[in-house]
Structure 1
Amino acid sequence: MSGFWGLMRAYWFSESWKEAWALTMVIAALTALASKASVWMAEASGELINSIAFFHSEDNLTPLRSLLVAAGTLVLIVILKDAGFTGIRHLFSTTLHRKWRAWLDRRFNDALLDANHTHYHLQNGDAGAALDNVDQRVQEAIKGMTGGAIGLAMGIVGVIMSVFFVGQKLLETSTSVTGLEFLGEYGSAALAFAAVLVYVPVNTWIALKLGGLLERLTIRMSQAEGSYRGALNTLLRRSFHVAAAGGEGVQNDIHKRIYKDIDGTWGSLNRVHAGYMSFELIYNFIAARIVAYGPGLLPYMNQQVSLKNYVTGAELINSMIQQCSWFIQVMPAIATLKANSRRLTELVEAIENVQAPVDYYRRTGRSEFVRTTQDSEFGLTIANLELMHQGADAKAFLSAPFLNFRRGEWTFVSGESGCGKTSLIKAINGLWPYGAGSIALPAGVRTFYASQDIRLPPITLKRLVCLPDAPDAFHDLQVAAALHDAGLGHLIAHIEEEARDGQPWDTVLSGGQRQKLFVARILLHKPGLLFLDEATAALDGPAKIAFHQAIKDHCPEVTVISVMHEAVPPRALSGESFYDSILTVAGGVASKRPFGSLLAEVTIPFPEKRRRRRRLDAISIPAE
């Protein structure tokens, strides 16, 4: 789907090509029939005018009957054209629009949500600064582009069919014209074609200039609307924080500033639209009342054609002008089509650029990570690792000469806030773009990454626990056991529900319960490599102990690397440490040593009352 034409034709050459071409052929056939009906309408209009003009003629023996038949014929043709051909064509064109848009939407979602983490990479590097409002591009831009393209294609087909059928009829009814005798019987047809060829192109050029202005303003409007929607979405995500900090005034100022751009652009767009509408109305009036009746006036005045043929010819010319003027009538829509297609092609180019993340990030900084796998018995090994920010001259803010995490080893990551602990975990997981070094992951081992802020998609509770696998990958009893051991046993009866009391699980569950839900996922999947990035921040002391104990009991061979706020991590109720080693990040260097060395530096309080608690094998994380 590279480029504009790639977007245009991809659907017709995809796995859905039969559906696409079948709908297209039906629409083309109905468009041809509608164009042919325009000729019938012109002939019927001429017959009606003629019956009115000669109503009182002595030669007209049945004037009322002739008038009613002509009027009835015209009405029937109009009904056939508008309700039959045009109406049914609209149904098929909107169906094609719906099918095409759905197909493109699936393609973009597949591209954004692939194993390459494309959606993540688009927000980093140089694309993140230039690619605004991906949501608007995927939804509104796809809808606008597909609808505009179908309308444009129908218009082009309509013009071709009209020129063929109407032109054929003009040639059939053509007659000689005084002063143009050298053209013979094609004189009146030549005048008609000349009028169309002069009037339409000149005004189309004017429409193109106005359309270009509309296109630029439409792009600006889309960007402004997207920015405002982004600000509102940010507010909804941070609603509690805004309320707690009393930041409504600041947020209101942000909204006003962004909306000012919308209002100014909208005003300019409205003025251009008003000017274009006036231009189009004047153009249509002159076309229908002057240009259409002009070419046949000379032969009619010289009595070379009858009134019936004069009116019929004028209606044919007007029909041809209207069909050929389709570009003028839909120029605002074409401008919108071009604007939407430009935003989509930018998104396509950005998606293609990040398919090779290493090469992509090398454009804006140093990205020389070497990711390999090794026998799982050797665990995770990191060598000569350096992390840095964007920029060719950026210096390393964190280095790790050599780190090895043995199979089943628990490592506590310690360091001041902002020292690079989370960046290190991101780099191991391939989510930090800039730096260098080698990372050897254990082969055949599943990795889980838990962060502090857990957002839950609107799906069933069972599927939340089974993520990233499908819900049918595990039996209900397995999911129920995982929820029980994680301290969420009271939710077992609701595993097939997407909400409680009309509220999604993301709203129903507290921060601590969301972190317990992640424990349930761990207990169900039993990963071999687990990263905890402030994953217990919302839990109290006893819950943190139970969190660790549940993983220790059910995943004995898991390698854990954990970042926590605490200077010293929780310990088991028996007094034993969950962690085997400590990784300290200080002075821009990450170094690892046995956990016992930390005990010599820090005194760990451990109330005697905890020693008297129930046996460890009966522990489960308490429900909130």
Structure 2
Amino acid sequence: MALKTSRGASGRGPEQGVEKEARARLFRIRSAGGTDILSQGSMMVGAFWTSPVRNALIVTGGSIFLLIAAIAYGQLYLNRWNVPFYDALARRDFPAFLHQLLIFLGIAGSLLVLNVTQTWLNQMFKLKLREGLAGDLIGQWMQPGRAFRLANAGEIGVNPDQRLHEDARHLAEMTADLGIGLLQASILLISFVGVLWALSSGFVFHVWGYSFAIPGYMVWAAIFYAASASWLTWIVGRRLVTINADRYAREADLRFSLMRVNEHIDAIALARGEADEKRRLDLDLGAVLIAIRRIVLALTNLTWVTAGYGWFTIVAPILVAAPVYFSGGLTFGGLMMAVGAFTQVHTSLRWFVDNFGAIADWRATLLRVASFRQAVLQMDELSALDRRIAIEENGESRMTIDGLEIVSPEGSMKLRETHVEIGEGERVLIVGAPGAGKTLLFRALAGLWPWGAGRIGLPKGSDVVYMPRTPYFPPSSLRGALAYPLDAGRFSEDELQAALSRGGLDRLASSLDRVARWDRVLSEDEQQCLAFARLSLINPRWIVVDEALDGMEEEALERVLDILRNYLQEATVIHIGRRKTHDHVFSRVLHLEKNEAGEKLELPAQKYG
């Protein structure tokens, strides 16, 4: 995939517009693999083959196969039982009738035990499939940098939670149900074809003075009957695959909109924006309902075929076996045995008809999950584009920036200083006007935005801590949020309380074990104070901050600056912001500016399914 650049004027909107446009337009990536069911299926099988649950799946699947084979043998035995049972009824032989009932109880009891055991194994197979699939998707998604790049990859990166949770669950359950059902149908078909062939092997047709035999004609009748039903079902119901895929996408959009409203309900209520949000939610709900209506219409049309064949199946076996019975080639018990065998063979053959709606649903879900996994894997390819920023480790403990230029869909930005060296313990302020691309510079320094030119040299052997504009706290206890991403057990109670005190959060000293959404419990300034208190606890050697100090009130800002002066005095701090009011802390100032003669980022805009 080659990067395309075009000369032109850069965008002049605010920086928020740059990020919004980047998220909306950037990174529509091409498909590296096929989109057909075989390519997607082989990719998912490969994922399961390397999964920790592989052996459990093999053992459970093998056990299910053996159970189904045993059940098929029991059903064969039950089918043969039809002959003496119905013949006893025809003879009005009561003792033989009671004897056959006892035999039936033995057969049915054994089949009941096997069915219950198979149900348990079926559920365990679903459980292991879900474990393997969701674990693989989450593991691939959480590889360093992938989730961020995917979030900027257009439609495929929207609502990953839907694909990781609901789609993965649905695919695992449907794969187990359809796979086990197909296996059972196949084994029953193999078991009963021989019975049906033998029952119709000696029959001779007499038509207009001609006599001819059709070896195993009841088998061919069952095949023709099921094949015609399958063909009509495919013709009528094939649109269900794309319709179901669209329905799941619209459901995900509605779910995301509901979550967004819930996350920002306080701002919506203060702005009296409920009516506007209701209008937006109604639009998303309307899209879901339109998709469901299309499914309703398609399923209704499909029911004409499936239900029509279903009702005719009641008499079809008898009609097929009637010529043999009326010619005297079968007793009444033999007729019932033939009907049972025909029904089993036909039921196995029309598995496709009975499950077409579920197959279409499964195919749509496989499309979403497989395309998501494929897109996640391709996120690594985006770092291999022709024109990108080189990020390397220096041979000494210093950070260097040489000829840095960052490109985005809105244009290009660069540092005015073409060569920068930052040594240990320095405090450097990088300033830029609104719209200059400060957050993009922050992401470039972190290696998350590699598109552009130049070189960033990271200090040797030093882990750099990057602080985004809005700090992140996991939904955990306060001690977990304070130590994140390290294990809270590494720090004593006194160390944690001292860190809170440095951030002016003494009131929370007794709440270390309280679990809460700290991004909601604390004000914005308190969140920044907690984030810098966390830094003082971790004590990194290099810190890069994105605009965190710019919007703070004076009292909170003074606490943070006190942490930088007295508790992180040996750390190198680089703050990217829009003003120079921290000059009493930062000894150097660098300048980020628009590159009016620069290039704009253009990537292929192919859309994922």
1:402 paired to 2:419 = yes
Deviation by residue 1:460-514 (Cα, 9 ceiling, x = unmatched) = 2222122222233334443333223222233233323323xxxx33332222222
Within a 5 Å distance, the mapping from 1:266-415 to structure 2 comes to: 266-290=292-316, 292-359=317-384, 362=385, 367-377=387-397, 379-390=398-409, 395-400=411-416, 401-415=418-432
Partner of 2:119: 90
Write the distance in 2 (CA, Å) between the matches of 1:388 and 1:5: 37
1:119 to 144, 147, 152: 147
TM-score norm. by structure 1 comes to 0.83
Amino acid at match of 1:289: V
Equivalent position SS for 1:417: coil
Partner of 1:231: 257
Deviation by residue 1:552-594 (Cα, 9 ceiling, x = unmatched) = 211222111223455523x7xxxxx1111222334549xxxxx
Write the distance in 1 (CA, Å) between the matches of 2:50 and 2:457: 42
Write the distance in 1 (CA, Å) between the matches of 2:594 and 2:164: 44
Contact 1:174 1:187 in 2 (8 A): no
Partner of 1:620: none
1:495 paired to 2:495 = no
Equivalent position SS for 1:439: strand
Equivalent position SS for 1:167: helix
1:518 to 531, 537, 559: 531
- Compared CA separation, residues 122 and 180, structure 1 to 2 (3 A): farther
Amino acid at match of 2:413: F
Write the distance in 2 (CA, Å) between the matches of 1:540 and 1:13: 52
Amino acid at match of 1:113: M
Paired-residue identity, %:
19
Partner of 2:575: 562
Question: CA shift at 1:412, angstroms?
Answer: 2.4
1:202 paired to 2:228 = yes
Write the distance in 2 (CA, Å) between the matches of 1:13 and 1:449: 34
1:423 paired to 2:440 = yes
Write the distance in 1 (CA, Å) between the matches of 2:139 and 2:109: 45
Partner of 1:617: none
Over the residues paired in the alignment, what is the CA RMSD in angstroms?
2.6
Amino acid at match of 1:386: E
1:459 paired to 2:476 = yes
Deviation by residue 1:32-79 (Cα, 9 ceiling, x = unmatched) = 122223323333344443333332xxxx3xx2x433444454455445
Amino acid at match of 1:381: T
Question: CA shift at 1:375, angstroms?
Answer: 4.1
Contact 2:196 2:216 in 1 (8 A): no
Write the distance in 2 (CA, Å) between the matches of 1:429 and 1:12: 34
Write the distance in 2 (CA, Å) between the matches of 1:40 and 1:132: 54
Partner of 1:41: 78
Write the distance in 2 (CA, Å) between the matches of 1:281 and 1:103: 37
Question: CA shift at 1:307, angstroms?
Answer: 0.8
Equivalent position SS for 2:434: coil
Partner of 1:11: 48
Partner of 1:550: 563
Write the distance in 2 (CA, Å) between the matches of 1:180 and 1:523: 98
Amino acid at match of 2:115: T
Contact 2:542 2:573 in 1 (8 A): yes
Write the distance in 1 (CA, Å) between the matches of 2:392 and 2:588: 24
2:284 to 252, 258, 270: 258
Amino acid at match of 2:459: P
| 5+ residue gaps, structure 1 | 572-576, 590-624
Partner of 1:150: 176
Equivalent position SS for 1:431: coil
Amino acid at match of 2:405: E
Partner of 2:128: 99
1:581 paired to 2:569 = no
- Compared CA separation, residues 254 and 454, structure 1 to 2 (3 A): same
Amino acid at match of 1:527: P
Question: CA shift at 1:537, angstroms?
Answer: 5.3
Write the distance in 2 (CA, Å) between the matches of 1:274 and 1:443: 67
Write the distance in 2 (CA, Å) between the matches of 1:507 and 1:542: 21
Question: CA shift at 1:353, angstroms?
Answer: 1.3
Equivalent position SS for 2:318: coil
Range with bigger deviation, 543-552 or 44-53: 44-53
Write the distance in 2 (CA, Å) between the matches of 1:452 and 1:237: 18
Question: CA shift at 1:172, angstroms?
Answer: 4.9
Contact 2:82 2:334 in 1 (8 A): no
Contact 1:376 1:445 in 2 (8 A): no
Contact 1:381 1:439 in 2 (8 A): yes
Contact 1:200 1:324 in 2 (8 A): yes
Range with bigger deviation, 425-434 or 6-15: 6-15
2:455 to 431, 438, 452: 438
- Compared CA separation, residues 47 and 539, structure 1 to 2 (3 A): farther
Question: CA shift at 1:180, angstroms?
Answer: 8.0
Question: CA shift at 1:9, angstroms?
Answer: 4.8
Amino acid at match of 1:33: A
Write the distance in 2 (CA, Å) between the matches of 1:587 and 1:349: 36
Contact 1:522 1:551 in 2 (8 A): no
Partner of 2:137: 108
Equivalent position SS for 1:88: helix
Partner of 1:612: none
| 5+ residue gaps, structure 2 | 1-32, 34-38, 597-609
Moved over 6 A (4+): 186-189
Number of residue equivalences: 554
Partner of 1:67: 97
TM-score norm. by structure 2 comes to 0.85
Equivalent position SS for 1:532: strand
Write the distance in 2 (CA, Å) between the matches of 1:242 and 1:537: 25
Write the distance in 2 (CA, Å) between the matches of 1:10 and 1:250: 44
Write the distance in 2 (CA, Å) between the matches of 1:565 and 1:370: 26
Write the distance in 2 (CA, Å) between the matches of 1:274 and 1:294: 28
Contact 1:113 1:119 in 2 (8 A): yes
Question: CA shift at 1:171, angstroms?
Answer: 4.4
Contact 1:419 1:588 in 2 (8 A): no
Amino acid at match of 1:357: L
1:486 to 489, 503, 507: 503
Deviation by residue 1:506-527 (Cα, 9 ceiling, x = unmatched) = 3322222221221122111111
Equivalent position SS for 1:408: coil
Contact 2:438 2:577 in 1 (8 A): no
Question: CA shift at 1:99, angstroms?
Answer: 1.3
Partner of 1:597: none
